[in-house]
Amino acid sequence: MTAILAKPAVPASVAPHDDDMVICVRGLRNQFGEQVVHEHLDLDVRRGEILGVVGGSGTGKSVLLRSIIGLQTPSAGEVTVFGEQMLGREETEARNVRRRWGVLFQNGALFSTLTVAENVQVPLREYYRRLDATLLDEIAGYKIAMSGLGPEAGPKYPSELSGGMRKRAALARALSLDPELLFLDEPTAGLDPIGAAAFDSLIKSLKDILGLTVFLITHDLDTLYAICDRVAVIADRKVVAVGTIPELLALDQPWIQEYFNGPRGRTAAKGAETLHEEAEERASRAAPPAVQADARG
Ligand SMILES: Nc1ncnc2c1ncn2[C@@H]1O[C@H](COP(=O)(O)OP(=O)(O)OP(=O)(O)O)[C@@H](O)[C@H]1O
Ligand SMILES: [Mg+2]
């Protein structure tokens, strides 16, 4: 697999249809007044991967997310999710695709007048109108537990939670409809390093257990190294490169070099290397030495 560097936009009409492609964006353009945020932006997200999306502040990562989920109407381009065209689609049809994803917004976006459990129940009430109160409570409790919160969090209001708990509550709501695809916008921003690492492992476990595909916007280099299968880099209004971190590091692209090879990038790489060595050492200690196996045989 090779990283792609600044390839020209592919017209949507020739975009490949592939069952393994969960999200396919072609020739996206977003403009606010005079400001062009995206132009000729292409991106593919493959089934079962965690795709990290990085780029400087204001490069349009959140606008890209909003364009994919239909909260922002682009001025040009095509967006396909699960093989379904999303732009200009009938509301009822779009709803059927929307129920297959969950979103954790950059600011959490919990309803402040609802408790955590009630927040988690909002999408359930929207899509399953006939669920009774007991079942709604049960499902909410289950989602709250999945997001790593204790049952005492359910009756609390967002203002009664810490920042880290709010992120987990927002994750519980994003998981409420058993999504196949999860959008996360800066999920570890504002968390302490231990809380951020715990959140990373939670996302990784959920992805492994539930087979999720994850679109993950982040500035957190540790998160990129710890859980992302590939990383897409946004600069100059488009995706300038996408690949694994070693593939990106091999590219002669100034922002990528500065980002990954700057002091923070090097520290994150070192941390990832140490964790990898520790895991290998634990695995080798756990495995019975070959000589013992021979002696037993
Ligand atoms: N609704 C809007 N109206 C006008 N301009 C907008 C709107 N939404 C976003 N923008 C502009 O689009 C640009 C990209 O914004 P966006 O929120 O996508 O950045 P970002 O890459 O997510 O940044 P950050 O890393 O700080 O979250 C910014 O200049 C922003 O001001
Ligand atoms: Mg943003």
Domain boundaries, the chain: 106-178
Ligand 1 pocket mutation pick from 59, 63, 220, 223 by most atoms within 8 angstroms of CB: 63
Tens of pLDDT along 73-104? 999 999 999 998 988 888 888 888 999 999 99
Strand partners, 102: 182
Which residues, including other chains, have CB under 8 Å from residue 224's CB and lie 6 or more apart?
52, 54, 218, 231, 245, 268
For ligand 1, whether the C-beta of 41 sits within 6 Å is no
How far, in Å, are 43, 75, 256 from residue 33 at the CA level?
Answer: 24, 11, 29
For ligand 1, whether the C-beta of 34 sits within 6 Å is no
Write down the pLDDT at residue 294.
45
Write down the pLDDT at residue 4.
55
- Residue 87: how many CB atoms within 10 A of its CB? 16
Write down the pLDDT at residue 295.
42
Nearest ligand 1 atom, CA 106: 27
Ligand 1 pocket mutation pick from 28, 31, 53, 61 by most atoms within 8 angstroms of CB: 61
List the structure tokens of 246: 């070693």
Write down the pLDDT at residue 296.
43
Which residues, including other chains, have CB under 8 Å from residue 259's CB and lie 6 or more apart?
54, 221, 233, 265
CA dist., res. 223 & res. 225, Å (int): 5
Chain-wide mean pLDDT for the chain?
A: 86
Write down the pLDDT at residue 87.
87
Write the Ramachandran bin of 48: left for phi over 0, alpha for psi from -120 to 50, otherwise beta.
left
Which residues, including other chains, have CB under 8 Å from residue 171's CB and lie 6 or more apart?
104, 147, 184, 187, 202
For ligand 1, whether the C-beta of 60 sits within 6 Å is yes
Tens of pLDDT along 207-239? 999 999 999 999 998 899 999 999 999 999 999
Distance 106 CA to ligand 2 centre (A): 6
Secondary structure of residue 131 in the 3-state scheme: coil
List the structure tokens of 61: 């990562």
Q: How confident is the model at residue 10 (pLDDT cuts 50, 70, 90)?
A: very low
For ligand 1, whether the C-beta of 59 sits within 6 Å is yes
Instruction: Output the pTM of the full model.
Output: 0.87
For ligand 1, whether the C-beta of 111 sits within 6 Å is no
Atom 14 of ligand 1, residue of closest alpha carbon: 60
Tens of pLDDT along 38-74? 999 999 999 999 999 999 999 999 999 999 999 999 9
Q: What percent of the chain has pLDDT over 90?
A: 60
Strands 21-32 and 101-104: unpaired
Atom 28 of ligand 1, residue of closest alpha carbon: 58
DSSP 213-224: EEEEE---HHHH
Atom 3 of ligand 1, residue of closest alpha carbon: 32
Contact between 15 and 80 (Cβ < 8 Å): yes
Write down the pLDDT at residue 289.
52
Tens of pLDDT along 101-157? 999 998 778 999 999 999 999 999 998 888 899 999 999 999 999 989 999 999 999
Q: How confident is the model at residue 266 (pLDDT cuts 50, 70, 90)?
A: confident
Residue 9 scores a pLDDT above 60: no
Which residues, including other chains, have CB under 8 Å from residue 68's CB and lie 6 or more apart?
23, 25, 79, 81, 86, 183, 215
Which residues, including other chains, have CB under 8 Å from residue 73's CB and lie 6 or more apart?
67, 87
Q: What percent of the chain has pLDDT over 70?
A: 89
Write down the pLDDT at residue 261.
84
Tens of pLDDT along 168-194? 999 999 999 999 999 999 998 888 888
Q: Which residue has the tokens 């992805």?
A: 207
Write down the pLDDT at residue 1.
47
